[in-house]
């Protein structure tokens, strides 16, 4: 799955598996590149390969290919026609700069808000990160544009009540995508998983 393009110059000193493991370590732990443990390749090497692969959109291609393969195994079409969008406000760590964080008064969180679009199996289509101060209906626009560009066949998206209003009309006119608001039953108490969400 990693690019098979031969790099100019001498052959790589480190196996690609070691490079991938080091990148996954940084992603999982949240440590800086310079804090990679000594049993990984040097951080400069790992970061250099990460940059090259990101420029070639290798990560996105891996996610897209895996999603398609899982959908086929599940007896679905490779490309989804429907999806689900939701958001989550998360507290920003000390390393998150003040310019990229905000305060979500509803959740009482100072940090960032993740907008995630999945297919109806829950497989990632796209993620969009903004300051937590963004309203769902406004922040969702970027996530929906990214989702439609990633999976052009996705023309129906399920969302909760936080996405209701102008954004539904905007998606219909601008993206030719239907956003269906799934409302919770009036008699619901506590957490209940809603159909299509």
Predicted local distance difference test score (pLDDT) of residue 62? 87
Predicted local distance difference test score (pLDDT) of residue 101? 87
Q: Determine how β-strand 124-131 pairs with β-strand 178-181.
A: unpaired
Tokens found for residue 31? 């440590």
Strand partners, 67: none
78-181 has CATH 1.10.10.60 classification: no
What is the mean pLDDT of each successive set of 10 residues along the chain, which is 197 residues long? 60 88 92 94 95 91 92 96 95 78 88 94 94 92 96 95 93 96 81 68
Q: How far is CA 61 from CA 6, 65, 68, 81, 175, in A?
A: 18, 6, 11, 19, 23
Predicted local distance difference test score (pLDDT) of residue 106? 86
Domain assignments of the chain as residue spans, ordered by start:
16-56, 78-181
In this prediction the pTM is 0.79
Predicted local distance difference test score (pLDDT) of residue 195? 67
Predicted local distance difference test score (pLDDT) of residue 128? 94
Asked whether the CA dihedral 27, 58, 136, 130 is positive or negative, the reply is positive
């Amino acid at each position: 799955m990693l690019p098979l393009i031969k790099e100019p110059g001498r052959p790589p000193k480190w196996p690609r598996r070691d490079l991938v493991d080091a990148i996954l370590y940084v992603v999982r732990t949240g440590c800086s590149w310079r804090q990679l443990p000594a049993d990984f390749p040097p951080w400069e090497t790992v970061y250099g390969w990460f940059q090259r692969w990101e420029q070639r959109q290798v990560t996105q291609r891996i996610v897209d290919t895996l999603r398609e393969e899982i959908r086929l195994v599940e007896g679905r079409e490779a490309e989804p026609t429907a999806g689900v969008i939701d958001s989550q406000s998360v507290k920003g760590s000390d390393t998150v700069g003040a310019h990229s964080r905000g305060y979500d008064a509803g959740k009482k969180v100072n940090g960032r808000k993740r907008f995630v679009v999945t297919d109806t199996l829950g497989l990632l289509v796209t993620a969009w990160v903004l300051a937590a101060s963004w309203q769902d209906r406004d922040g969702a626009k970027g996530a929906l544009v990214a989702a439609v560009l990633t999976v052009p066949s996705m023309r129906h998206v399920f969302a909760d009540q936080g996405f209701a209003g102008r954004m539904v009309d905007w998606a219909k006119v601008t993206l030719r995508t239907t956003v269906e608001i799934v409302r919770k039953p009036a008699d619901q108490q506590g957490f209940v998983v809603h159909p299509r969400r």
